[in-house]
């Protein structure tokens, strides 16, 4: 498999064509962004840590019956993935209230959400990724009702698996964002699952162990991602 031209570059990852038209190479860069790209910085080793973290979680989810775009690791900071037709939608699952939910609805930070809360957002930085519902999705043709139902079901199924996965590492999975796409007519989990796109709190101390360390200038961002990886039994290679 040969790495060909870059087809797109986002805030944290770049996608490259390969000799197989159905496959892409996803490169995880060190670039880190927050607040819809208003805060940007390159953090040493983030690309490698997130690429290998993502591979571990995607393979774990696949082993539990959630099909994903991930095929295999190509290098420390690159993975081979299936090329999908992406939905312009972000699926957020919340087990505790924090972040934008608290601001939007005046909810107490840390409130346990039982059952977990599911939300759709439109993936559009210029609009600040607004909250949307099934009706917007169907009326504007961003996905069919059936596809919206599948995204919600898969996101909540992943939650059942991931809450226990992180609990084993003494971590609370507070919330996270997933993206889905279509490959040969089938809905697959895409993009990434890393501490950049979720919130993880230490179960005993409630210490933030995710991208909030970057958003809130708490320091030791990548060292903390590394600690999460270690607690989960991952062996991240940085050379």
- Nearest distance in Å: CB 70, ligand ADP: 9
Asked whether 191 and 81 are in contact (CB, 8 A), the reply is no
- Nearest distance in Å: CB 20, ligand CDP: 29
Residue 64 Ramachandran class (φ > 0 left, ψ -120 to 50 alpha, else beta): alpha
- Nearest distance in Å: CB 1, ligand CDP: 29
86 binds ligand ADP (CB under 6 A): yes
Chain positions 2 to 31 lying near ligand ADP, rule: CB under 6 A, are 10-13, 15, 24
Q: How many CA atoms lie within 13 A of 36 on its CB side?
A: 10
87 binds ligand CDP (CB under 6 A): no
| Number of residues forming the site for ligand CDP (CB under 6 A) | 13
Compare residues 92 and 189 and give the one whose CB is closer to ligand CDP: 92
Compare residues 175 and 191 and give the one whose CB is closer to ligand ADP: 191
- Which residue stretch of 51-59, 77-85, 103-111, 216-224 sits at the interface with ligand ADP (rule: CB under 6 A)? 77-85
What is the contact mask toward ligand ADP in residues 175 to 214, using x (rule: CB under 6 A)?
----x-x--------xx-----------------------
Asked whether 232 and 169 are in contact (CB, 8 A), the reply is yes
Strands of the sheet with 23-28, listed across from one edge: 3-9, 13-18, 23-28, 78-82, 70-75
Chain positions 37 to 76 lying near ligand ADP, rule: CB under 6 A, are 69
Asked whether 54 and 228 are in contact (CB, 8 A), the reply is no
d(C-alpha 86, C-alpha 89), whole Å: 8
Compare residues 33 and 97 and give the one whose CB is closer to ligand ADP: 33
For 120-123, the CB contacts below 8 A with 24+ separation are 120/89, 120/90, 120/91, 120/92, 120/148, 120/151, 120/152, 121/89, 121/90, 121/92, 121/177, 122/88, 122/89, 122/90, 123/88, 123/89, 123/90, 123/179
**Among residues 50, 175, 221, 222, which is the contact residue for ligand CDP, using CB under 6 A?**
175
**Among residues 76, 88, 99, 116, which is the contact residue for ligand CDP, using CB under 6 A?**
99
What is the contact mask toward ligand ADP in residues 136 to 175, using x (rule: CB under 6 A)?
----------------------------------------
d(C-alpha 169, C-alpha 203), whole Å: 9
- Nearest distance in Å: CB 2, ligand CDP: 31
Contact set with ligand CDP (CB under 6 A): 90, 92, 99-101, 129, 175-177, 197-199, 211
């Amino acid at each position: 498999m040969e790495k060909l031209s870059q087809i797109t570059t986002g805030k944290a990852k770049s996608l490259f064509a390969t000799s197989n038209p159905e496959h892409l190479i996803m490169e995880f860069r060190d670039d880190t962004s927050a607040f819809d790209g208003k805060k940007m910085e390159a953090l040493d080793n983030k690309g490698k840590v997130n690429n290998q973290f993502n591979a571990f979680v995607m393979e774990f989810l696949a082993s539990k019956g959630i099909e994903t775009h991930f095929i295999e690791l190509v290098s420390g900071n690159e993975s081979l993935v299936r090329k999908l037709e992406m939905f312009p939608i972000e699926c957020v699952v919340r087990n505790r209230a924090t972040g934008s939910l608290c601001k939007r609805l005046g909810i107490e930070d840390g409130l346990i959400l039982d059952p977990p809360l599911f939300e759709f957002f439109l993936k559009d930085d210029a609009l600040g990724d607004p909250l949307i519902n099934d009706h917007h999705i169907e009326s504007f043709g961003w996905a069919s009702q059936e596809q919206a139902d599948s995204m919600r079901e898969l996101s909540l199924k992943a939650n059942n698996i991931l809450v226990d996965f992180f609990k084993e590492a003494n971590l609370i999975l507070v919330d996270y964002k997933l993206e889905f796409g279509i490959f040969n007519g089938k809905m697959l989990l895409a993009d990434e699952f890393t501490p950049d796109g979720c919130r993880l709190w230490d179960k005993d101390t409630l210490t933030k162990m995710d991208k909030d360390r970057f958003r809130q200038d708490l320091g030791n961002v990548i060292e903390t991602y590394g600690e999460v990886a270690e607690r989960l039994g991952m062996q991240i290679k940085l050379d």
